Structure 1
Amino acid sequence: MNDFEKQWLYKLKISLKNIGKSSLFENFSLSHQETINWSNLLMETLNQELTEEKVISVMCGCACLAPKDYLKILRDEYAKTKDLKYVHQLLQQYFEKSITKYKNLNEDQLKYIIEHEMGMAGKLDGNTITAVKIPKDFHEYFQAEDPAKKRYLYCHCPRIREALKTDKKPLDKNYCYCGAGFYKDIWEFILQREVKVKLVESLIQGNEFCKIAISI
């Protein structure tokens, strides 16, 4: 079992424990396999045993999380000012600077990301932020022409991205709340209170991008 899978399973264990369903994890762990079929069985069981709200909570808890170094600055700034618009602007500036370096982007590529509301900050409209995930393999994604290959290159999840190479729907849509949890964690850390996330679009649902709405 690779390190990512170990970490993901640990997060799943904690998420189920937090809602009083540790026994479900024990059952899953006994049959665990690093396959899409096992993940399908996981989602089927969660949907049978839990309300949709709790399924979403569990999957959000499995998310990869953003580093907190800069987010601490934003948390402190929001605590002082209570100015959501200002803190959102700071996060956008940080994202643009860091993603340009991390992905080695040129000006046109950065412009594309901003125009499509991609990245950590997304677009703020009132008390709702809409964020679109950037392609994981950014440069390869825009060079690819085959739709299945583009889906694979876009997806951030090493657990299921292989399944996106086919036209078959790989998993229940709520699985991708794992990705939405990334944004939930960012804003709950900054605001120090609960926020709600909604998966608006996703590759699994047949969309071109994965789009998440965060209700502040």
Structure 2
Amino acid sequence: MEENSFRKFLKEKNADDKLIDKYIKQLKDYSEFLEKDNKVLDTINPDELVDYTEYLVATDKELVLDFLRAIINYANFTKNYDLIIRVIDISESYNAMDTLYTRIFDIHGKKIRDKIFKDMPVPPLGVDPEKKPEFTKTIMKRAEEILGEKNVIDLLSPCLHGRPPDDIPGDKKKLRRLGIDKFLKSKHKELVKRLQKHRNDGTLEFAQYIDDEVIEFIRKDQRFGHGIREGNTILVKKIPYQSKKFLNAKQENLKRFYICYCPWVRGAMKENSVDESLHHFCYCSAGWYKLYWDKIFDHPIIAEPISTALDGALECKIALHIPKEIITPYIK
């Protein structure tokens, strides 16, 4: 580990000395763990990262989040993008089931919450994400049996994990100026431009590499990104989690696996073990879009998954239903 250079890198990112010392300690502890197998941090296989996070889960799970923050900063410092992708694999939506646990309590009470989660502690951050779908199946099956389909959808629809900050004031202003159709088109152009920059710089779009094939795949379909309008509905397609791997995969189960972002279900597609218990889980994904458009319109919309990888489709398509009186002023 290039400790001095890494310290300088963190200083330039305005990290304070206490945080820097914490990250260095985490990385030194990891290096000691690797030394037992004659391995070193700078040449570690990213797929082996989960061995250590699962070790931390077993010994002191409170350390996992700090470790992942330390390792992703070090990966950014060394430009080890494969390692960044693996950190995202492990940490993506890690709090989703904690949110569901709390939301069931808030809406339906402790007795029902405890019945649904009986003998099923939520897998903590750091557990191999491909172990999570079996947990999800059990919880969703119990939830639907106890609460019914509509209540389960209502629990999932607000999204279980939130989304990064959006420029809501800026997008509202642009929407008023352009109208909805030109706004959606401009957002797609912005997306393509951002992907082109990632390609040119060799950097990641979230957890994936970008090349000409990926850009063309996304450029030719405006539904990727913010979508297109049909009447009072905006139709959106999710960009695959790993677009290049999706395009290259030959087996349909692997294509579906590479489409999906959610570690709580995606492993089931890889293993061909999806069942009806997971049928409604993509309302959470639809809710990710709802969070944005509710703020844009200052009015709740209805977000509905139309076709998803969980259902066996080779795309994830979401319908965003906007009340006529809300969207009409923006149709120009």
Q: Which interval holds the TM-score relative to the shorter structure?
A: 0.7 to 0.9
**Which structure is larger by alpha-carbon Rg, 1 or 2?**
2
Residue 91 in 1 paired to residue 179 in 2? no
Q: Which amino acid aligns with 1:15?
A: R
Deviation of the 1:84 alpha carbon? 2.9
Distance in 2, Cα, partners of 1:210 & 1:147? 14
Partner of 2:232: 127
Residues 162/108 of structure 1: CA separation in 2 closer, same or farther (3 Å cut) = closer
Q: Give the aligned CA root-mean-square deviation in angstroms.
A: 2.8
What is the SS of the residue equivalent to 1:175? Answer: coil
Distance in 2, Cα, partners of 1:132 & 1:15? 27
1:40-92 deviations in Å (ceiling 9; x for gaps) = 122122222334333222112344433234233113445x5693334433433
Residues 184/69 of structure 1: CA separation in 2 closer, same or farther (3 Å cut) = closer
Deviation of the 1:107 alpha carbon? 5.1
Q: Which has the higher contact order (CA 8 A, sep 6+)?
A: 1
Determine which of 288, 295, 315 is the counterpart of 1:189.
Answer: 295
User: Normalising by the residue count of structure 1, what TM-score does the alignment of the two structures yield?
Assistant: 0.82
Residues 135/117 of structure 1: CA separation in 2 closer, same or farther (3 Å cut) = same
More deviation, 15-24/185-194: 15-24
Q: Which residues in structure 2 correspond to 1:1-216 (within 5 Å)?
A: 4=91, 7-17=95-105, 19-27=107-115, 28=117, 31-34=120-123, 35-78=132-175, 83-100=179-196, 101=198, 102=205, 103=208, 105-106=210-211, 108-170=213-275, 171-216=277-322
Do the aligned partners of 1:199 and 1:211 also contact (CA within 8 Å) in 2? yes
More deviation, 149-158/18-27: 18-27
Distance in 2, Cα, partners of 1:41 & 1:51? 15
Distance in 2, Cα, partners of 1:124 & 1:6? 32
1:169-189 deviations in Å (ceiling 9; x for gaps) = 244210111111111111111
Deviation of the 1:127 alpha carbon? 1.3
Q: Which amino acid aligns with 2:168?
A: L
Residues 166/22 of structure 1: CA separation in 2 closer, same or farther (3 Å cut) = same
Do the aligned partners of 2:100 and 2:160 also contact (CA within 8 Å) in 1? no
Do the aligned partners of 1:96 and 1:110 also contact (CA within 8 Å) in 2? yes
Q: Which amino acid aligns with 2:287?
A: G
Deviation of the 1:166 alpha carbon? 2.7
Q: Which stretches in structure 1 are left out of the alignment for 5+ residues? A: none
Distance in 2, Cα, partners of 1:25 & 1:184? 25
Identity %: 21
Q: Which amino acid aligns with 2:256?
A: R
Distance in 2, Cα, partners of 1:104 & 1:166? 24
Deviation of the 1:38 alpha carbon? 2.3
Deviation of the 1:110 alpha carbon? 2.6
1:2-53 deviations in Å (ceiling 9; x for gaps) = 6646521332134335534454334427522543232112212222233433
Name the count of aligned residue pairs.
215
More deviation, 20-29/133-142: 20-29
Do the aligned partners of 2:97 and 2:122 also contact (CA within 8 Å) in 1? no
Q: Which amino acid aligns with 1:189?
A: K
Distance in 2, Cα, partners of 1:62 & 1:22? 21
Q: Which stretches in structure 2 are left out of the alignment for 5+ residues? A: 1-56, 58-63, 66-90, 124-131, 199-204, 323-332
